[in-house]
Amino acid sequence: MSVLVFVETLEGKIQKNAYEAVFYGNKIAGGSGVTVLTFGDASNDDLAALGNYGATKVKVARAIKTLDTLALTKFIEEEVNAGGHDVAVFSFDPAGKMVAPVAAAKLKAGLVAGAIDLPDTSDGFVVKKNVFSGKAFAFQQIHTDKKFISILPNSFKPEKGSATAEVEEVSTDFNSGKVRSKGVSRASTDRAPLPEAELVVSAGRGLKGPENWGMVEELADVLEATTACSRPVADIGWRPHHEHVGQTGIAIRPNLYIAIGISGAIQHLAGVNGSKVIVVINNDPEAPFFKAADYGIVGDAFEVVPKLVEAFKAHKA
């Protein structure tokens, strides 16, 4: 099978999601290598290093600087048609969520969004994904000639080989000449982006108001963790929307997830129940989150969190 993989780079850097998508695509290709499409400013050396995960060729559209859905869709459309690719793989990250459905519709390809395993080709082309907030699996068969898949970040561990991909700079900017989005800007932060974070400190409505997030930030700082929040907190505007985790937010799989003043509703758990270790701090011993926790602290966050900060600081000193 001829496989194309689309990846996003962030501020000139290749993200873990990209390695996963390339490795996954190469597995579908039976190890024969994939063509990767990307855009932006990543260095040619970094792009060539995608060869370690199965890329044989990387085509980069330097003129596309932002998540310009129309330009990127055109780029993918032209490459799928010219290269005769059977399968296109994306990460189920913000770029993949924006671009894959539009490109699939244009190319009349069937799309499974959020796959968690390799397709089963023993009888058709069947892709496994989570449904009902991670409580069940669906096995979806793609019947169209062209098959598009986006994979859920952190559901496939890439193995690093030692090969170098050929990098080709594609000169056209794929301007559609019609309506053109100006891209999406991201909030800048020096912490790991949530989908990649190994340590996450998250808080919910139990914190009472945005003025109380100082202690959450402090705990995140001392642990060098990324901050997250429940959906209502982002909806009310206490925290930015890009921190919202859960069914309708970002799905994360850190090594450690600390949930402070979050009840543990099923829609929240859907985005965090892949975490290796979950620590819950809640003053209600009946809070549902305790059922999903590896460690639980029943107590007032306003007493517990400052003590944890002190203890971690002392441990580091």
User: Which residues of this protein are in contact with ligand FAD, per CB under 6 A?
Assistant: 204-206, 230-233, 246-249, 261-263, 265, 267-268, 271, 281-284, 287, 300-302
Structure tokens at 216: 């959450």
In whole angstroms, the minimum distance from the beta carbon of 198 to ligand FAD comes to 21
Closest to ligand FAD by CB, 22 vs 262, is 262
Sheet holding 55-61, edge to edge: 136-141, 126-131, 110-115, 147-151, 87-91, 3-6, 34-39, 55-61, 166-170
Residue 191: closest CA among 226, 229, 220: 226
Closest to ligand FAD by CB, 232 vs 306, is 232
Structure tokens at 183: 């891209």
Closest to ligand FAD by CB, 110 vs 302, is 302
In whole angstroms, the minimum distance from the beta carbon of 256 to ligand FAD comes to 18
Contact 97, 113 (CB under 8 A): yes
In whole angstroms, the minimum distance from the beta carbon of 316 to ligand FAD comes to 25
In whole angstroms, the minimum distance from the beta carbon of 250 to ligand FAD comes to 9
Q: Strand, coil or helix: what is 286? A: coil
Roughly how many angstroms between the first and final C-alpha of the chain, as a whole number?
Answer: 55
Closest to ligand FAD by CB, 25 vs 204, is 204
Contact 240, 316 (CB under 8 A): no
Query: What are the binding residues for FAD?
Result: 205, 230-231, 261-268, 282
Contact 260, 301 (CB under 8 A): yes
Closest to ligand FAD by CB, 51 vs 204, is 204
In whole angstroms, the minimum distance from the beta carbon of 295 to ligand FAD comes to 15
Give the separation between CA 166 and CA 265, rounded to whole angstroms: 47
